[in-house]
Amino acid sequence: MLPNEINLPSSSVFFESEHPPVISDKELMEILKSDIILDLLREPSIIIINDHHRSTPSGRILRILAKLYASTAKVDYIVIAGGTHEEPTDEQLTRLTSRVEEIFDCEILIHDPLEEEVELVYLGVTSRGTDVKVHPVLLDYENILCINSVEPHYFAGFTGGVKSIIPGLAAKSTVEQNHAWALSEESGPTLIEKNPLQQDLREGLSLLDKVIHGIQIVNFQNEIFHISVGELERSFEDARAASLEIYARKSTVLFDIIVSIVYPPLDRSLYQAQKGIENTRQILKPGGEMILVAKCEKGIGNSAFFDRLNQFSSPSEVMEGITIEEYKFGDHKAFKFASLASTSKIVLAGELTPDEATRVFATAISMHDLEDHLQSAAVDGKNIAVVLDSGALSLFYDPER
């Protein structure tokens, strides 16, 4: 969707990531030909990958690892770190793993955060009160390799790193307690050091008391721009620096209208596509208009935040009724929607119904009407920002001094 589907005003200002040269399979092969990985996989080990809600090119990396190490590796499981997401379909699973489990002669393990299939293990409690429970496979193995993609995340700061373990392989109750800190003003895109949610994740991981290694990637879909191999925190920091260069942009002005365009796979539901709002709202004028362009063929997605919003009659009621102390799963989504709706207009262009839009304090618009609306706004002198791949690209207001 967009920009090809409609004619945008010529005065529109575009923001998009600047992609460096793509790393080829040959170059990836050389980078992944690592003594660290060789030593790690020659002992009984597990490989943890993201689920279908991330664009991580896990299958591509797994294919290369299989070429390099299949004859020596003792991989017992490829673990799908889905957090509280729904399980991938068979088709999605095939894309995630590229069927390398057949080459490694290992099993696929899909995490269950509700403990319906396996009892999770309690590690302890963080200083912020999060009770940390994780999948027992993490305690059964000393050799753990996480394959992650690293890009700005609208409340955790960045994806990647610790998120393979928490929330990736944690109990729903652990995720819920940690996510309460998304209500803090210090949580947000690219924020790490003072972000209470990110720091809580890291403290939770420290309770596992293991050295975990990572292959951390900065990518766009299947194109890879950066890859780091090593101890999880170090490889994450290397990838984070590269990600900032690619996926963070500043604006010296605020805009009347932001057209925030979310790319797959984050565009499949409003629950995921909301990232496009949070990553761009910093450059919206108070009282301005946020237009989220996302197909949302799966509708609302996880309905927890949708149900929560519908318990209140106005954005101000939502913000008064949701607190860190009484947080419920999905509250952070509801709170952030309401906080923007309390000061600005939210418009949804996609497959959501007008009723669904209204119930999240927004309005729905067709692509045809969106074109007319933007052209009319430009004639009226309103400045318009068009943000491509807003699920990954984060914008910051930095006025010229």
Residues 310 and 214 in one domain: no
Q: Is residue 4 part of a domain?
A: no
Tell me the pLDDT tens digit for each residue of 246-271. 999 999 999 999 999 999 888 999 98
- In this prediction, residue 19 carries a pLDDT of 86
Tell whether 382 is covered by a domain: yes
The answer to the question of residue 18 being in a domain is no
In terms of domains, do 218 and 80 share one?
Answer: yes
Q: Does position 400 have pLDDT exceeding 80, yes or no?
A: no
> Taking residues 147-173, what's their average pLDDT?
95
Average pLDDT over residues 9-38: 94
> Exposed, middle or buried: residue 252 (CB in 10 Å: 0-12, 13-18, 19+)?
exposed
184 pLDDT above the threshold of 70: yes
Q: What is the pLDDT of residue 148?
A: 95
Cβ(342)–Cβ(323) under 8 Å?
Answer: no
d(CA 59, CA 237): 23
pLDDT at 302: 77
Is residue 382 within 8 A of residue 259, CB to CB? The reply is: no
In the predicted structure, residue 346 carries a pLDDT above the cut 70: yes
- Residue that finishes a domain, picked among 229, 246, 263: 246
Q: What angle do CA 246, 288, 312 make, to 5 degrees?
A: 100
**Residue 4 binned pLDDT confidence (cut-offs 50, 70, 90):** low
Check residue 1 and give its pLDDT.
Answer: 54
Predicted pLDDT at 172: 94
Is 327 a residue whose pLDDT tops 70? yes
Give the model's pLDDT for residue 54: 85
**Is the domain of 125 the same as that of 238?**
yes
Dist. CA 351–CA 262, nearest whole Å: 13
CA–CA dist 51, 88 (Å, integer): 7
What is residue 298's predicted lDDT score, i.e. its pLDDT?
92
Q: In terms of domains, do 233 and 343 share one?
A: no
Q: Does residue 235 share a domain with residue 261?
A: no
Task: In whole angstroms, give the CA distance from residue 259 to residue 192.
Answer: 27
Q: Both 283 and 224 in a single domain?
A: no
Within a domain: 9 = no
Answer yes or no: do 154 and 232 share one domain: yes
Residues 242 and 257 reside in one and the same domain: no
Q: How confident is the model at residue 383 (pLDDT cuts 50, 70, 90)?
A: very high
Please state which of the ranges 20-24, 112-116, 150-154 shows the lowest mean pLDDT. 112-116
Euclidean distance between CA atoms 372 and 357, whole angstroms: 20
- On whether residue 2 sits in a domain, the answer given is no
On whether both 56 and 190 belong to a single domain, the answer is yes
Question: Residue 374 pLDDT more than 60?
Answer: yes
296 inside domain: yes
Q: Convert the pLDDT of each residue in 76-112 to its tens digit.
A: 999 999 998 889 999 999 999 999 999 999 999 999 8
List, for residues 186-242, the tens digit of each pLDDT value.
998 999 999 999 999 999 999 999 999 999 999 988 899 999 999 999 999 999 999
Check pLDDT > 80 for residue 362: yes
- Percentage of the chain exceeding pLDDT 90: 83
Amino acid 231: pLDDT:
97
* CATH number, domain with residue 236: 3.40.50.11440
- Please, which residues have CB within 8 angstroms of residue 115's CB and are 6 or more apart in sequence? 171
Q: Does 133 share its domain with 100?
A: yes
Domain boundary among 194, 216, 246: 246
- pLDDT, position 220: 87
User: How far apart, in whole angstroms, are the C-alpha atoms of residue 250 and residue 253?
Assistant: 9
Q: In terms of residue numbers, what domain contains 193? A: 33-246
**pLDDT per residue as tens digits for the range 279-312:** 999 999 999 999 999 999 999 987 888 888 889 9
Q: Clarify whether residues 66 and 205 are in a common domain.
A: yes
Statement to judge: residues 294 and 360 lie in one domain: yes
- Our count of domains for the chain comes to 2
Q: Place 58 in a pLDDT band, splitting at 50, 70 and 90.
A: very high
pLDDT top residue among 74 and 398 = 74
First to last CA, the chain: 36
Domain annotation covers residue 171: yes
Q: Is 258:288 a contact under the CB 8 Å cutoff?
A: yes
**Alpha carbons 83 and 94: distance in angstroms, whole number:** 19
* pLDDT surpasses 70 at 401: no
CATH number at residue 277: 3.90.226.30
In a domain? residue 19: no
- Residue 3: what pLDDT? 58
Phi-psi region of 221 (alpha: psi -120 to 50; beta: other; left: phi over 0): left
Q: Which of 215, 246, 277 is the last residue of a domain?
A: 246
Read off the pLDDT band of 60 (50, 70, 90).
Answer: very high
